[in-house]
Structure 1
Amino acid sequence: MKHVVIIGNGIAGVTAARHIRKLSDYDITIISAESDYFWSRTALMYVYMGHMKLKHTQPYENWFWEKNRINLLNDYVKTIDHASKKVVLDKSEAMSYDVLIIATGAKPNKFGWPGQDLEGVSGMVSQQDLAYIEKYTKNINRGVIVGGGLIGVELAEMLASRNIPVSFLVREEEFWDNVLPQQEASMISRHIREHHIDLRLRTELKEILADENGRVKAVITGDGKEIPCQFVGLTAGVSPNIEMVKNSGIETKRGVLVDEFMETNIPGIYAIGDCAERRTPAPGRAPVEQVWYTGRMMGETVAKTICGEKTEYLPGHWFNSAKFFDIEYQTYGRVWNKLKENEAEFYWEHASGKIAMHFVYDQTSKKFLGVNTFGIRLRHEVFDRWLKQEADIFTVLSGLREANFDPEFFKRYEEEIVNAFNAAHPGKEVVLKGKKSIIEKIFG
């Protein structure tokens, strides 16, 4: 019987295992040195903040794996010997495979900063990182976070939840402005500071200093300032975790190179999730996409191919979601940090400075291209439909009530948004469709 070995028990690897089991009777083994069981990586911060326990982050009961005949092995893969179809393990004997799936995820970036390996310095992508952060943030006076982005703001919220003062070093002009347009980046920068975070823009890390015991005592910034601290979080992005693949004959670049079926240059070896890099990305998509839902989709897709239904990975239109303290963020389609040629925009921000929508569309055809939303939940299926139908901006704006996902008694802003668009674009008035919510009827 065919034996499928999966390296990595994150969302990509586990999804592949689940769907291979649905489609076949193959033997399946998942190898992971990180944890015995699959857990939700996006829940890390909530464990630290006391909202849940680590066991609550496991989507499946422990009996799930035996019942579904998915073998779990807690070990580390040292190398891959594709000529003999074996993986060489750290603690166990080498394991043979017929099909191999590499789903090893990503690791925090380190850029050779002096002191980056001192005690009290950590990234935040694994259970081991969580345990390390828990240990090294007890009774400290200050933490420093290096690098803006989603993991950085999560770590800032974690430390702030324990009343630990935080200095946040971000080299950009505004927070995450290499991804967000200037309007949103400025709004989120303000919001971070409102939560008493010492956000230092246009500031880079130069060096991490040690005390007499080899533990962090301070950082030196690029402009020569010293910030005393006892913990440093390195959140300057992540890179595909591909150490075990190097020198194996499997081609790599930034990640493990794969074709449209997620197969490497070696037949029968696939790569999915954060470690995979498309040789030819789908239109409008990046070669490496380190997002939860893309890992899940890759796992489903590769399972079909392995089980005899060769299926191309087609991720569709880009979307993502995140949270900046108490501001929820969603994006559908593409809203680049700077407008591209022939793109037009409409940006609306509520007077509170915490709720906003940013629409981008084609200047000539008026075709809707993407939206960023802050503080307003949107329905994925509605925006996905508009993108597939190549709807124009007028259709999107007139249908905002349908697209709103907030519960009935939440404040609604569609009328204010459409009125602002009409005022800024005289000539073709957008008429808002649908009925007012109860809260709109009561409070106008």
Structure 2
Amino acid sequence: MIHQPTKNCNNSKSIVIIGNGVAGITCARNIRKSCNAPITVISAETDHHFSRTALMYIYMGHMRYEDTKPYEDSFWKKNRINLLNRFVTHIDSAKKQISFSNGEYLNYEILVLALGSKPNKFGWPGQDLKGVQGLYSYQDLQLIEENTKQVKHAVVVGGGLIGVEMVEMLKSRNISVTFLVREKNFWNIVLPAEEAKIIENHINEHHVDLRLDTELREIISDENGRVKAILTSKGDVINCEFVGLTVGVSPNIDFVKGSKINTDRGILVDEHFETNIKDIYAIGDCAQFINPINGRRPIEQVWYTGRMHGETLAHALAKCEKIAYNPGHWFNSAKFFDIEYQTYGDVPSKLPENLSSFYWEHARGQICLRIVFEKSSQKFVGLNVLGIRMRHVILDKWLTEERSIEYVIENLSLANFDPEFCEKHEKEIRITFNNNQFNITKGI
């Protein structure tokens, strides 16, 4: 669809966006909806935008790469968004010029940095051996295809969401896996102990060698420069032909550090995504807020926040009308093998003194609900759920309205988003809460 510009449209300045992930592409699309400015999107990863969260399903054979592209290849030309496959090496903000690895350069009037992330490495001996890698980019997917041919045993290091995804990927090809997690409970910087235990049990049920409270010390090479084993912090040597490094990601800003753009862990921005350099903005995984908003983290590397970054900045660039980024209440979702996980609002892994929580778990495990609330006011402040699908719009509304925990319990069925004929648990949850209400609300 071709969009006509609005009256006060900033349609004379050329806009260059580096990065074709969700943040950069959302920004480009939303600019085009109301502005005729020349737009160029640059990426050295792929010619076209694709869904990064679907990489694991390509490897597992559930999808093809073509299936992960939300828009037809012809969409970009029809909407006058120029796509350029280049690797950017330098930004000259004084000349308003970016340089490419092939010696070419491109001038810009407005520059948007949507550079994404890169897998972390922490200087382990052997971390650059053949058969050792992370998983973030399309190139990483191609590499893991090559690196896992004829592999019988793999080690995955790092107990976050990417780690679980990689374990599931490898298991889908009948590769046995040892999973190293340095914390004493799985993902315990995010999950309370009960939820962590459910996920630990579920991982073990899938015949994964889960080793908690264990760190990587060294990756050992064979005579050909390929991994043949690893050494753990407990002195164990584990033979393997592949090592997946999934210990989080960090902003992909190495080439920016040589410019005049201010950086810390990420590219420093204000609430309007403006950097310290006029007409240069940063969004998505690479952006770091100087003053984090509403108590949120300064860097939030989540799909939906990247999308919101793109929408917010596009409004300002297309309509010449600044609006401050306001992400609203925190939420996230993930999948641990067969268990779906959702979180809304504030659910600390360890409760501070002013908060309490009600926790319910199904007798067979794998399904649970935790509601966090303020002790003094009984105000609902957050929810974790495993194995039950919930409606985001309802829970977000209750958080905004500052509903009480009693209200949430009584109306929980309104938030249920499970398909028809699924087992319902609201009655049991309500009975459990009512039977223990005095102790729960007093935080005992």
169, 173, 190: which is aligned to 2:201? 190
- Name the CA distance, whole Å, in 1 between partners of 2:315 and 2:266: 23
Matched, 1:327 2:351: no
Counterpart in the other structure of 1:119: 130
Query: Could you tell me which residue of structure 1 aligns to residue 178 of structure 2?
Result: 167
Match for residue 15 of structure 1 among 23, 26, 29: 26
User: Residues 155, 428 of structure 1: CA spacing in aligned structure 2 closer, same or farther, 3 A cutoff?
Assistant: closer
8 Å Cα contact 2:357-2:440 kept in structure 1: no
Quote how far apart the aligned CAs of 1:141 are: 1.4
Among 292, 300, 306, the alignment partner of 1:289 is 300
Match of 2:430 in 1: 418
C-alpha separation in 2, matches of 1:9 and 1:80 = 18
Report the CA distance shift for 1:427/1:132 in structure 2 as closer, same or farther (over 3 A): closer
Alignment of 1:122-133 (within 5 A): 122-133=133-144
Q: Distance between the aligned counterparts of 1:338 and 1:132, measured in 2? A: 38
CA-CA distance at 1:92 after TM superposition? 5.3
* Alignment match, 1:207: 218
- AA aligned to 2:199 is I
Where does residue 30 of structure 1 map in the other structure?
41
1:382 to 394, 415, 432: 394
Counterpart of 2:315, as a letter, is K
Cross-structure match for 2:367: 355
The equivalent of 1:336 in structure 2 is: 348
Q: Is the CA contact 1:79–1:245 (under 8 Å) kept in the aligned structure 2?
A: yes
| Offset of residue 306 of structure 1 | 1.1
Secondary structure, aligned partner of 1:220: strand
Deviation at 1:395, TM superposition (A): 0.9
> Distance between the aligned counterparts of 1:56 and 1:415, measured in 2?
40
Q: What is the identity, as a one-letter code, of the residue corresponding to 1:399?
A: N
AA aligned opposite 1:146: V
| Cα deviation digits, residues 348-404 of structure 1 (max 9, x gap) | 110111000011000010000000000000000000100111111111111111000
Q: In the TM superposition, what are the counterparts of 1:210-359 in structure 2 within 5 Å?
A: 210-307=221-318, 308-359=320-371
8 Å Cα contact 1:217-1:229 kept in structure 2:
yes
Secondary structure of the corresponding residue to residue 246 of structure 1: helix
Per the alignment, in what secondary structure is the counterpart of residue 354 of structure 1? Answer: coil
The match for 1:101 is 112
Amino acid at match of 1:102: L
Q: Structure 1 residues 428 and 139 mapped into 2: Cα distance closer, same or farther (>3 Å)?
A: closer
Task: Verify: 1:397 aligned to 2:405, yes or no.
Answer: no
What secondary structure is seen at the aligned counterpart in 2 of 1:283?
helix
The percentage of counterpart residues that share the same residue type is 59
Structure-2 change in CA distance of 1:379 and 1:264 (3 Å) = same
Task: Give the conservation status (yes or no) of the 8 Å contact 1:28–1:70.
Answer: yes
**8 A Cα contact 2:358 2:440, kept in partner:** no
Q: CA separation in 1, counterparts of 2:187 and 2:73?
A: 39
2:241 partner letter: Q
For 2:175 and 2:425, how far apart are their aligned partners in 1? 36
1:408 Cα deviation after fit: 1.8
Shift of 1:56: 0.6
- TM-score, normalised by the number of residues in structure 2: 0.95
CA distance in 2, matches of 1:121, 1:36: 26
Q: Deviations over 1:118-177 (max 9, x none)?
A: 100111101100111111111111010001000000000000111100000000001101
Assess, with a 3 A threshold, how the Cα gap between structure 1 residues 311 and 53 changes in structure 2: closer, same or farther: same
Query: What secondary structure is seen at the aligned counterpart in 1 of 2:295?
Result: coil
Tell me the residue number matched to 1:80. 91
- AA aligned to 2:346 is R
RMSD (Å) for aligned C-alpha atoms:
1.1
Please say if 1:145 is aligned against 2:165.
Answer: no
Q: Distance in 2 between matches of 1:359 and 1:264?
A: 38
Within 1, Cα distance between the matches of 2:194 and 2:342?
A: 15
1-structure distance, mates of 2:94, 2:399: 45
Measured after TM superposition, the shift of residue 91 of structure 1 is 2.1
The C-alpha deviation readout for 1:260-281, integer Å capped at 9, x for no partner, is: 0011011111100000000111
Once the 2 structures are TM-superposed, how far is the Cα of residue 223 of structure 1 from its aligned partner?
Answer: 1.4
**Which stretch has the larger CA shift, 88-97 or 52-61?**
88-97
The corresponding residue for 1:372 is 384
Partner Cα distance (2:258, 2:439) in 1: 63
Per-residue deviation, 1:426: 4.2
8 Å CA contact 2:15, 2:38 repeated in 1: yes
Query: How many angstroms does 1:247 deviate by?
Result: 2.1
Deviation at 1:284, TM superposition (A): 2.7
CA distance in 2, matches of 1:92, 1:5: 18
Please give the secondary structure, in 2, of the residue aligned with 1:329. strand
Partner SS for 2:294: coil
- SS at 1:219's partner residue? strand
Unaligned runs of 5+ in 2: 1-11
